[in-house]
Amino acid sequence: MIRLDAPLFSLRDTLECGQAFRWRAGQHGGYYGFIGGTAVKVSQAGDALTVEMTNDQLSPEIIRHYFALDLDLRRILESVDVDGQIHEAIVRFPGLRILRQDSWECLASFILSSFNNIKRIQGMIERLCQAYGTPVAFNGFRGCNFPTAETIANAPERRLRQLGLGFRAPYLRQTARLIADGKVPLDVLKRTEYRVTKASLLHCAGVGEKVADCVALFGFEKYEAFPVDVWMERAMRYYFRRQKMTPKRIRDFANAHYGQYAGYAQQYLYHYVRNARRLSSEEPARNPQAISGEAR
């Protein structure tokens, strides 16, 4: 068991904001999931995290790195807190952090996310792991490690389709082959600038602009990436009023408006807009126009 100080951190918002798909809330509190290949249970009490695990392979430094506890989140949020809507999102979810996910798992997961909802994405990933991952039992939790790119590259497409992946099956398999063959060097892409990383991801099967930006942000620490989907289009009405919006215009605006941490602003806005109805029922919004999407 490892205990860590975690100031300005919300485990719940970080794990339930749509950036990762394999964390599950436990019946008696905490969340079960995987950090690397290790199954863990993570719980939070105040500013302290408790991490239980199947073995002692995870060090405090690895856990701190995964949850991005080493970043100066206060400084990041101050840099993007430039208007009423993002300010309201920050006030509502002040401890949301962007995870440092495994690049391959993140890429594969977001390929499966295309034209899908979170519940179905979770189901696809779970079936994929059960079919090709290594089973793990821990503290009442049963799960499987995420299969390697090499494993998926050699999986029959027909079998992948049987797991419910549908039209995404050949995309996942083709991309896994690129990675297994070294044609998309994930470790190298972590060290390249955002535009180079995104361009390489766009060469992968099943990866368009939105998926590439999601993977760049969540799997490669490219914090200027600004994924645009229907939820972000709703959030952007606050800025564009009745002007025409396109994903490119939104991305260009966000990069100029929020700067190098536009991706953090995106995730706060995304989580905020998705939870607007629940928030409005719990208490009056500090900035009601932000929730409705109306311009100031």
In angstroms, the Cα distances linking 75 to 10, 64, 81, 238 are 17, 18, 10, 24
DSSP β-bridge partners for residue 89: none
Starting from the edge strand earliest in sequence, which strands make up the sheet with 24-25, in order? 2-5, 48-53, 38-45, 31-35, 24-25
**Is 210 annotated as catalytic?**
yes
Q: 160: burial class by Cβ within 10 Å (0-12, 13-18, 19+)? A: buried
Catalytic residue among 119, 183, 198, 210: 210
Scanning the structure block, which residue is given the tokens 């996942």? 172
Look up residue 285 and give its DSSP letter: -
Instruction: Provide the β-strand partners of residue 41.
Output: 32, 52
The region, left, alpha or beta by phi > 0 then psi within -120 to 50, assigned to residue 8 is: left
Q: Which two tokens stand for residue 127?
A: 């079936």
Strand, helix or coil at 106?
A: helix
Q: Distance between CA 102 and CA 109 in Å, rounded?
A: 11
Tokens, residue 82 = 């430039």
**Residue count (the chain):** 296
Active site residues: 210
